[in-house]
Amino acid sequence: MNATQQTAVIEGNKDSHTTLKEGAMQPTASTLIRWTGLAAMGAGLLFIVIQAIHPLDVLSNVTTARWAIVHYLGIAMGLCGLLGLAGLYARQVEKVGWLGLVGYLLFSLFYALTLAFQFIEALISPLLATESPRFVEGLLGIASGHATGMNMGALPMVYMFTGIAGYLLGGLLFSIATFRAGILPRWAAGLLAVGVVLPLLGSSLVPHPFDRIFAVPVGLAVAWLGYALWSERREPASAPVSSQGIPQFRPT
């Protein structure tokens, strides 16, 4: 092999290594989906933590630091929930069918509307607690289920829709579709189904705020599904090597 051929081999190896390195650095769909598992884990764990440290829904608590912290965490939970649920759905989109799609959209609606309510309670309610205390008490009454006599427009209906259509129906449909798909842990899907139905069965027996305990199974299930998604190990697709970077030798 003469010097020209040796130089060609070296340059070809450099080009192939560069191509492989660039391919490894490029984010792939499977990698992004896998990392959304961390967001789902965060959403589930935050859901549990928020219930444990949430102050009583009374006017005097609205201006406290604890109230602010809880609802800032609620905003983070909503964002993580939207990202995590998108990844969970994308991972099994080919298996969950229309049932999974409807469940995903409704359950995502729960996180989106919850994010909106958490934003109001974190950044707007403290500002209005002194100027418009009756309005803030009306908001607190929506969350606690106690009527205050204040006209809150469509907000009570939106809040109810969030719970029934988003949390209950969306979570139930998504859990059933996940269980049937069999890609993510079925025990986690079953726990999610039980968790979203529990408030419907036990709310008459457990008064607010003690009914927050019903959020624990749902939080654990979402975190479990997120961990399963994040911990998956799939073979990465090898980057194609350009034929132009490999010298062609012909017998002479």
The 10s digit of each residue's pLDDT in 119-158 is: 999 999 999 998 888 988 888 888 777 766 677 888 889 9
Interval 66-91 mean pLDDT: 96
Neighbours of 234 (CB within 10 A): 10
pLDDT higher than threshold 90 for residue 239: no
Whole-number average pLDDT of the chain: 84
pLDDT band at 31 (very low <50, low <70, confident <90, very high): confident
Orientation angle between helical segments 93-119 and 171-181, nearest 10 degrees: 150
pLDDT of the residue at 72: 97
Q: Which among 219, 230, 147 has a CA at the least distance from the CA of 184?
A: 230
pLDDT higher than threshold 50 for residue 37: yes
Q: Which residue has the tokens 């299930």?
A: 221
- What are the backbone dihedrals phi and psi of residue 63, each rounded to the nearest 5 degrees, phi first? -100, 10
- What are the backbone dihedrals phi and psi of residue 13, each rounded to the nearest 5 degrees, phi first? -65, -40
Show the beta-strand stretches assigned E in the chain.
none
Q: Which residue has the tokens 């609620």?
A: 74
Neighbours of 29 (CB within 10 A): 8
| Residues with Cβ within 8 Å of residue 112, at least 6 apart in sequence | 78, 82
- What are the backbone dihedrals phi and psi of residue 40, each rounded to the nearest 5 degrees, phi first? -65, -40
Least confident of 22-26, 65-69, 222-226: 22-26
Task: Please list the helix, strand and coil fractions of the chain in percent, rounded to the nearest 5, in that order.
Answer: 80, 0, 20
pLDDT higher than threshold 70 for residue 18: no
The 10s digit of each residue's pLDDT in 205-225 is: 887 778 888 999 999 999 999
Structure-block tokens of residue 142:
């929506």
pLDDT higher than threshold 90 for residue 94: yes
Interval 55-74 mean pLDDT: 93
Q: Does the pTM exceed 0.75?
A: yes
Instruction: Give CA–CA dist 229/251, Å, rounded.
Output: 52
pLDDT higher than threshold 90 for residue 102: yes
